[in-house]
Structure 1
Amino acid sequence: MKDLKKSLSLMTLATLTLGAFTLSINDVQAQEDDEVIFNYEDYPETTTNDGEPLGEGVLRVGYVSNEVFVPVFSHIYSGSGTDGDLMTYFTEPLLTYNENHQYTNDGPMQYELNEEDNTITFTMTEGILWHDGTELTIDHYISAYEVVGHPDYAGLAGSDDGYMLVEGFEEYKNGEADSISGIERVDDYTAVFTYKELAPSLTYGGIPAEAHPYHYYEGVAIEDIPSAVQSLEEPIGFGPYKVTEVIPGEYMTLERFDDYWRGTPQMDGIEINFIPSSTIMHSLESGNIDMVFRYPRDQFQDSQHIEGIEWISAIDPGYNFIGFKLGYFDYDEGHVVYQPDEMKMGDKNLRLAMYHAIDIQSVGEQFHQGIRWKANSVITPYYEDFWDEDLEAPEYDRDLARQILADAGYEDIDGDGFVETPEGKPLEITYADMSGGDTQEALSNYYLQSWRDIGLNVSFLNGRLIEPTTFYTLVENDDPEIDVFHAGFGAGPDVNPYSLWGPTAPYNFTRFESEDNTRLLEAGNSIEALDEDYRIEVYQEWQNHIADEVPVIPLFFGAFVVPIDENIVNYSIGYGFNEETLLYNVGFTELPEDQQ
């Protein structure tokens, strides 16, 4: 992408001719028969080196970043996957989970359900220390609920079942109570939570699993937490390594935490370097870094034969999509306002035509070499039992797209090559997309060009791509200039999509709502859904409902790849608790030359 940026001005990107659009489209189609070289199942999830760690050395991690971003190191305020990725190096969740995505009791905190009285008892392991020497207690867990539910809290957490099903949480959140009635503190290490009901999602990632170091934020107002020095430059956790320095956009350093509760970490420290995608392959090849977390998929083909590097891979639980703005979120009322009749993209026929205009299969093969492949649903194969493998996604067909528009009354009245609305008014669609890896700009242009090719006057927001932090701020706040956007959703252990699609979910970025959507989402997490067969049936019906309504165009499922020095042992990207591959057991069997 860097080369393209150098050769095309932002103004040029906004005013490309239709001929240039056609060339780009033809380029994608002409490569359809190229060999797809990647299948994530051909690669291990864990390093194959079976040696013993030396107990020393500094792991140099490359983290791809094309923009200078400021991470927010607070689980209760973190709004990006990058924040979460970086926090895994110095803190850890309180609850662990198995390969079936269900919580287990192998972590810092244990839980016990009592279905007779709808309670869960949480017990914190004694003797665990935060990096400032303070002991981790049950109060650090309770505090997370008190902050997220507080009326002054301005983050995005708090709308899912893990919070809302706790008795009294909603009243506390609405300012009707001074405390959460359903939380009973028993002692320093134990609390009993009473729930309105024990929904199936709770033990599949629904229970919040983060602690909040309230003692470390003493004197900081709740609304100031994300901008406090404790969240930006001097974060603490209770993981095997503690942060020593953070320089946004450059690096982050960590050193061994000798009082880590599980045992002695096997390295002296970790150094995370933020590296542009344009130079990440060179950094890996030259030995300046030992691994890259989430390597750019579009560079795998050119990088796979780097000497001394092992590649590991796993299916990515998330997906990316084209979203259509269909309303806005009322943050005062905490609810989606779905108003398709007042939005440009409110006509399902218009959305469906845009779906048919994109050759998603070819894009996945040629831009991603098979590391991403065409999605058919908004539930991914990561949830193998729930994903509807047989759901048919609209096929690429430009002629059909044009016919759908024509049948719905979209015609080019003034002869400028672009259709007007069925009411005869100009239709100008604004598309927002993020800047990113080497192919991002070409991909974004391809989508835009594809839509223009079927007669839709689509242009980039502000004539350019937008850096990720600003992009998500605009989307979350329902910027009125945005009609269509390209984004991605991660996924947790539980299949329950309510926090991304529910009527009270701020992450429901399209602002789509329907009676069937709400009914099915609630049914999928009801007491009846403790029967897995019933839950599978509900979520497959829900997938079909979303496919019928087209609030989004699911683009790609995918895998992620991690290149790692072949002298590193016990590193894994597999799912489920495995003591052997926890971060404190990761180490070198032979040190890099510059550390010997």
Structure 2
Amino acid sequence: MKKGKFISSLGIVSTAALALVACGKSGNGDNEGAKTDRKFPIESPNKTAKQGGTIKIALESDTPFTGVFNEELQNDQPSADVSSPGQESLFDTDDEYKINDKGPATLRLNRKAKTVTITIKKGVKWSDGKQVTAKDVEFAYEIIANKATKSQRYSSQFNIINGMEEYHEGKAKTISGIEMPDGEEGRVVVLHCSELKPGMYYSGNGYFCENAAPYHYLKDVPFSKLESSDQLRKKPLYFGPYEAQKIVRGQAVTWVPNKYYWRGKPKLDKIEYQVIATNSASQSIKSHKFDIARVVNSQWKEVKDTKDVNFVAQIPLAYFYMAFKVGKWDDAKSKNVMNPKAKMGDKSLRQAMAYALNTDSVYKHYTDGLSFQVPTLIPAQYGDYFDKSNKGYTFNLKKANQILDKAGYKKKGKWRTTPDGKPLTINLLAKAKTPIDEPIIQNYILQWKKVGLNVKLVGGRLAEFNSFYDKVIHDDPKVDVFLGGWTLSSEPSQAELYSEGTMQNYSRFVTPENTKLLEEMDSQKAFDHKYRVQKFHEWQKYMNDEAYVVPTYNVYQIDAVNSKLTGYSYKPSKMNNDHPLWYRVAFTK
């Protein structure tokens, strides 16, 4: 399950995200861990399905999707959404996210031999009829690891596979640790690793890839031109239930059944994705213009009484956060490097900004209780890995002022200065996505003003999604603080988001203690569950204290689904890549 989707919206959790890290399926939660008493069904009613029909799906976004139809290179959630009818993972899971044998491939781990064996099932074919091969699995790793593709998915976690780092650094032409015992056209891949990790039995662990790429179709495209190629923009190949029939770049995609689909013919004749503006979301639900549409939570009251729809929901494994830029990504060294003179390098300043936020009350006000504050970077859906004793940063202006006073940020007029007496202006980057974004961000700026902090929006306004994404990834020097969000993996390892060697650590903080704790939670000792839980609790305490990244809130993700549809589910065993398994979705008899 994919880790590190960078959520862009405030009212819609996953309609626009950045940095689909790793190669797996995204985790979703159930209705546990919420601080409201609302309950929604997690799937549409189970009824007898019939063959045929077209469904229309609204993709609510005020920005066109980029339309990169390749999982290794996708950097925005809308592209993943519109790809979902074709983009299937190699592995299915049970409802605890443990990889099972029901998917397109099977997985076997051998701790003694330090190997991961992936076997693709016979009959799993690309939409052009060619069998998915061992080379297709290897090719996915090459796309991620080759610097010429500029994939955001590469992480130092992959270096557990022998030869991966050498290939990434350009010191080797092949990845030595990937063995194809039956040859490139065979169906077996053996990954030789330096060690196996406790999370490897579960999807989304970040140490190996969970997808394949059609080598026969893409092999003649140079890596540097892959992302912009027609093969990935106009005529993609997938081995999932549907194939792309028509793509209107950035606006719409039409899917029809993949006649070679390994599970048999899917039920629907056609799936049509269409981009609509977020301010049209509630009206499109009430008028039944679409069969599936995401509810904008600030508009819940407008749509909640709509007839002939089922509201199917989940509390996603996700959170929004405030992050402080304290360094940059060094591409030559493939690691994050902290700046000892960073403006936001003072822990006291970061903590004070966190205490000044009235997150819980403001989101409850604007979203009818469908948003709620989260205390740590490990959500409650992770069970005992979540430290329920850690209360996080609750709104406390008095404490914020005390921290700033003690740290020497003196008031000079209405604004505070730095401890050495210089003027202090903090530049905030935040996204424009829904109608409530502007008032909420202005509210935050007002709260900071109350403690004497002069916070200004980068460019004087909320950023458009693609511009926001560009500034965060490329460490724009104008950005001191940014407001982002992740959808997380079902396997709770944090190395892929916050380690020294991952691009997704957008705050760019690197400390010996953080590195130590991340390594301990994924160590051989961590095969002992109690030990691993202890390390997760230590990490949450450390991260909250350091406040490089401060979690703010999570939301209910609600879809309005035509009551004539069945098979639409957010149960982990019935999902694929953070979406319902589309081959199961059908009209009822």
Report the TM-score when normalising by structure 1.
Answer: 0.89
Matched, 1:434 2:431: yes
1:189-338 aligned at under 5 Å gives the runs 189-204=187-202, 205-206=204-205, 207-292=208-293, 294-338=294-338
Amino acid at match of 2:148: D
Give the direction of change, closer, same or farther, for the CA distance of 1:399–1:116 in structure 2 (3 Å limit): closer
Distance 2:221 2:376 in 1: 43
Q: Secondary structure at the match of 1:130?
A: coil
Q: Secondary structure at the match of 1:342?
A: coil
Give the direction of change, closer, same or farther, for the CA distance of 1:318–1:423 in structure 2 (3 Å limit): same
Q: Is the 8 A contact 2:35 2:372 kept in 1?
A: no
Q: CA deviation at 1:483?
A: 0.2
Report the TM-score when normalising by structure 2.
Answer: 0.90
Q: Is the 8 A contact 2:143 2:151 kept in 1?
A: no
Distance 1:235 1:442 in 2: 41
> What does the per-residue CA deviation read over 1:454-479, in whole Å, with 9 as the maximum and x for residues that have no partner?
21111111111112122111111110
RMSD of equivalent CA atoms: 1.8
> What does the per-residue CA deviation read over 1:434-457, in whole Å, with 9 as the maximum and x for residues that have no partner?
110121122222222221222111
Distance 1:138 1:521 in 2: 32
Distance 1:155 1:305 in 2: 44
Q: Secondary structure at the match of 1:564?
A: strand
**Please, which runs of 5 or more residues in structure 1 have no aligned partner?**
1-36, 591-596
Matched, 1:512 2:509: yes
1:553-568 aligned at under 5 Å gives the runs 553-568=550-565
Q: CA deviation at 1:203?
A: 2.3
Which position in structure 2 is the counterpart of 1:92? Answer: 88
Distance 2:178 2:47 in 1: 47
Matched, 1:42 2:39: yes
Which position in structure 1 is the counterpart of 2:10? Answer: none
> What does the per-residue CA deviation read over 1:161-207, in whole Å, with 9 as the maximum and x for residues that have no partner?
3x211111111212222221111111211121111001112222222
Which position in structure 2 is the counterpart of 1:11? Answer: none
Which position in structure 1 is the counterpart of 2:402? Answer: 403
Which position in structure 1 is the counterpart of 2:176? Answer: 181
> What does the per-residue CA deviation read over 1:38-72, in whole Å, with 9 as the maximum and x for residues that have no partner?
94761111111x33222111111111101223222
Amino acid at match of 2:104: P
Matched, 1:102 2:98: yes
Which position in structure 2 is the counterpart of 1:496? Answer: 493
Q: Is the 8 A contact 1:38 1:371 kept in 2?
A: no
- Pairing partner for 1:73 from 61, 69, 76: 69
> What does the per-residue CA deviation read over 1:515-570, in whole Å, with 9 as the maximum and x for residues that have no partner?
11000100111111111111111111001000110112211123311110111011
Which position in structure 2 is the counterpart of 1:570? Answer: 567
Look at both structures and tell me which one has the larger radius of gyration over its CA atoms: 1
Q: Secondary structure at the match of 1:61?
A: strand
Q: Secondary structure at the match of 1:301?
A: helix
Q: Is the 8 A contact 2:311 2:558 kept in 1?
A: yes
Amino acid at match of 1:175: G
Amino acid at match of 1:466: A
Amino acid at match of 2:343: K
Which position in structure 1 is the counterpart of 2:161? Answer: 166
Which position in structure 2 is the counterpart of 1:531? Answer: 528
Amino acid at match of 2:125: L
Distance 2:377 2:453 in 1: 25
> What does the per-residue CA deviation read over 1:217-249, in whole Å, with 9 as the maximum and x for residues that have no partner?
232111211111222222221111111122234
1:362-401 aligned at under 5 Å gives the runs 362-401=361-400
Q: CA deviation at 1:132?
A: 2.1
Q: CA deviation at 1:136?
A: 1.1
Give the direction of change, closer, same or farther, for the CA distance of 1:39–1:308 in structure 2 (3 Å limit): farther
After alignment, is 66-75 or 505-514 more displaced? 66-75
Q: Is the 8 A contact 1:61 1:271 kept in 2?
A: yes
Which position in structure 2 is the counterpart of 1:16? Answer: none
Which position in structure 1 is the counterpart of 2:6? Answer: none
Amino acid at match of 2:332: D
Which position in structure 2 is the counterpart of 1:32? Answer: none
Distance 1:582 1:405 in 2: 50
Distance 1:357 1:493 in 2: 31
Distance 1:218 1:324 in 2: 40
Q: Secondary structure at the match of 1:473?
A: helix
Give the direction of change, closer, same or farther, for the CA distance of 1:38–1:326 in structure 2 (3 Å limit): closer
Identity %: 29
- Pairing partner for 1:138 from 126, 134, 154: 134
Q: Is the 8 A contact 2:432 2:465 kept in 1?
A: yes
Q: CA deviation at 1:160?
A: 4.7
Give the direction of change, closer, same or farther, for the CA distance of 1:184–1:218 in structure 2 (3 Å limit): closer
Q: CA deviation at 1:378?
A: 0.6
Amino acid at match of 1:152: A
Distance 1:577 1:537 in 2: 31
- Pairing partner for 2:53 from 48, 57, 82: 57
Distance 1:465 1:71 in 2: 24
Q: Secondary structure at the match of 1:430?
A: strand
Q: Is the 8 A contact 2:65 2:251 kept in 1?
A: no
Q: Secondary structure at the match of 1:97?
A: coil
After alignment, is 432-441 or 362-371 more displaced? 362-371
After alignment, is 307-316 or 401-410 more displaced? 401-410
Q: CA deviation at 1:263?
A: 1.3
Q: Secondary structure at the match of 1:316?
A: coil
Amino acid at match of 2:168: K
Distance 1:116 1:539 in 2: 26
Q: CA deviation at 1:301?
A: 2.6
After alignment, is 536-545 or 451-460 more displaced? 451-460
Matched, 1:550 2:547: yes
Which position in structure 1 is the counterpart of 2:341? Answer: 342
